[in-house]
Amino acid sequence: MISTAEISMYPFQEHYKALIKELIGKLKTYSDLRVTPGSTSTVIVGDYDRLMECVTEIMRWSYEEQGHAVFVVKFLPGYDAK
């Protein structure tokens, strides 16, 4: 089932813009997902199971590589944001 997630990241660091850009770059490495950055969030579209796996991986990676951050994610199962 194709699904959509809209994710926003709020790092607890002064140089937050660089961290957000790094996160978007990491998201774009998932070739099986469509990633569309926006001004306040990034939209990710793909297979539901793969999408959930990606969000889990990206949040773990962010914590391990960048430190603490707040993530706000909205999921739309069965929706293909085109």
State yes or no: pLDDT of 82 exceeds 80. no
Amino acid identity, position 36 = T
pTM for the complete prediction?
0.90
For the chain, what percent of residues have pLDDT higher than 90? 93
Architecture of domain 2-76: 2-Layer Sandwich (3.30)
Domain layout of the chain by residue ranges: 2-76
The pLDDT tens digits of the residues spanning 14-35 come to 899 999 999 999 999 999 999 9
B/e letters for 3-42, b = 16+ CB within 10 Å, e = fewer, are bbbbbebebeeeeeeebbebbbebbeebeebbbeeeeebb
37 and 24 Cβ atoms separated by less than 8 Å: yes
